[in-house]
Amino acid sequence: MSRKILIVGAGFAGVWSALGAARVLDLNGKTADVEITLISPRPEIVIRPRLHERAPHEMSSPLLPLLEAAGVKFIEAEVERIDISSERVVHALTTDGRRISVPYDRLVLTSGSKLNRPPVPGLVENAFAVDQLSDAVKLDRHLAQLSNLPNSPARNTIVVVGGGFTGLEVATELPERLRTLHGADARFKIIVIERNEEIGPDLGPKPRPMITEALASLGIEFQVGSGVVAIDENGVLTAAGQRIEAKTVIWTGGMIASGLTSQISSRLDRQGRVEVTGDLRVVGTDHVFAAGDVAMALTDDEGHYSLMSCQHAIFMGRFAGHNVAADLVGVPTLEYRQPFYATCLDLGEWGAVYTEGWDRQVLLTHDEGKERKRMINTQWIYPPAANRVDALEAGNPEMVYG
């Protein structure tokens, strides 16, 4: 009977984990001895970093041809419970409503993250988001019908809650997007509200002059130092007592890991991520690995930890896939290391800011930055071609991009 590797989640980390595991089995002549299965609600990868753009329904890529080329099976189901005891089984609900149990010998948790929605009154009922594909499609439809609403300051005002990476990309995409939807003469006020004292607080001081320049050039207002404390169908209230009338409120308030992490470990960080060893094994287990947004992994010898980003998820996925297969077939695992770190912040028609290093040295701006962002968003973060050679090479932990 073949042994079984089960990968939970078909995001960046999950897909590249599957390719990394398939590569190890191929290199060691074990493809007939080990079965790799990827389980996820849909047989596609959502290109999540692009959900703030126009036509979000197009921001996904089919997986079945790629997985077939790599020799990976797929189960279309939502995982509900993970048993890491001697039973080693995952319980899931299929898309047609059946409850199934899937056994495994080794598990890789790559179930990703979701938008943090704290108990702010009215947030769930009244705020839009770009977190999941369904969120982005809902926002897209709302933006398209704004001109059908009675003309008012509230109709013509859009509040983006959160001035971090996602909030800035959402806000700076809106001017061109709204003109495309409603004509060149459309006039909308866009306001970014950040509760911290600086815009782009997690991006550091070096890109900030470019961020403020871009916002000014695009006519986008921003307020700092007071967060949103209530949302209703007609606007928001800030902690400072300010009322802003707006028919469109977009929440971008940070991420938390998938709730499945608490089923495999009690050692979680403040974002709900599991602590992992150097080879991405979940601390306290011998047969469960984790990668992507669910894993708190050391990236280098300087004490930096992975972030909830596709660049870390893809690289971690390769290592996790390599290691889970290596562990099962009895070859050495690899220590995950990813010392190179870069950010590329899209700022709409202004361009983009590309930085390198944890101190975020600005290297490219405006059109040059935009070209780098285009390459990242349309090439580097997409799965490889659906042929076995490209699929297995994409799982190589030594790859730099792609």
Is residue 333 within 8 Å of residue 323, measured between CB atoms? yes
- Asked if residue 375 belongs to a domain, the reply is no
277 shares a domain with 192: no
* pLDDT score of 308 more than 80: yes
- Asked if residue 216 belongs to a domain, the reply is yes
Given pLDDT bands bounded at 50, 70 and 90, which one contains residue 142?
A: very high
128 shares a domain with 52: no
Percent of the chain exceeding pLDDT 90 equals 96
What is the model's pLDDT at position 401? 54
**Residue range of the domain that includes 222:** 123-251
263 shares a domain with 234: no
What is the model's pLDDT at position 90? 98
CA–CA separation, 262 and 267 (whole Å): 8
Given pLDDT bands bounded at 50, 70 and 90, which one contains residue 399?
A: confident
- Asked if residue 399 belongs to a domain, the reply is no
106 shares a domain with 200: no
- Asked if residue 361 belongs to a domain, the reply is no
| Mean predicted lDDT score pLDDT of the chain | 96
Looking at 187, 219, 251, which one is the last position of a domain? 251
* pLDDT score of 402 more than 60: no
- Asked if residue 289 belongs to a domain, the reply is yes
DSSP secondary structure code for residue 273 in this structure = P
* pLDDT score of 74 more than 80: yes
265 shares a domain with 237: no
pTM for the whole structure = 0.95
229 shares a domain with 133: yes
- Asked if residue 400 belongs to a domain, the reply is no
What is the model's pLDDT at position 130? 98
- Asked if residue 371 belongs to a domain, the reply is no
Name the one residue in this structure whose structure tokens are 């930096």. 304
What is the model's pLDDT at position 388? 98
**For 78-133, what is each residue's pLDDT tens digit?**
999 999 998 999 999 999 999 999 999 999 999 999 999 999 999 999 999 999 99
What is the model's pLDDT at position 186? 87
Number of independent structural domains in the chain: 2
208 shares a domain with 315: no
- Asked if residue 347 belongs to a domain, the reply is no
Looking at 251, 284, 305, which one is the last position of a domain? 251
244 shares a domain with 136: yes
Strands 288-290 and 106-109 come out as parallel
Q: How far apart are the first and last CA of the chain?
A: 35
Provide the CATH number for the domain around residue 164.
Answer: 3.50.50.60
CA–CA separation, 261 and 108 (whole Å): 11
Looking at 224, 251, 278, which one is the last position of a domain? 251
Rounded mean pLDDT of 37-52? Answer: 97
DSSP secondary structure code for residue 268 in this structure = B
271 shares a domain with 166: no
What is the model's pLDDT at position 138? 98
Given pLDDT bands bounded at 50, 70 and 90, which one contains residue 400?
A: low
Is residue 319 within 8 Å of residue 118, measured between CB atoms? no
233 shares a domain with 141: yes
**For 3-40, what is each residue's pLDDT tens digit?**
999 999 999 999 999 999 999 999 999 999 999 999 99
236 shares a domain with 135: yes
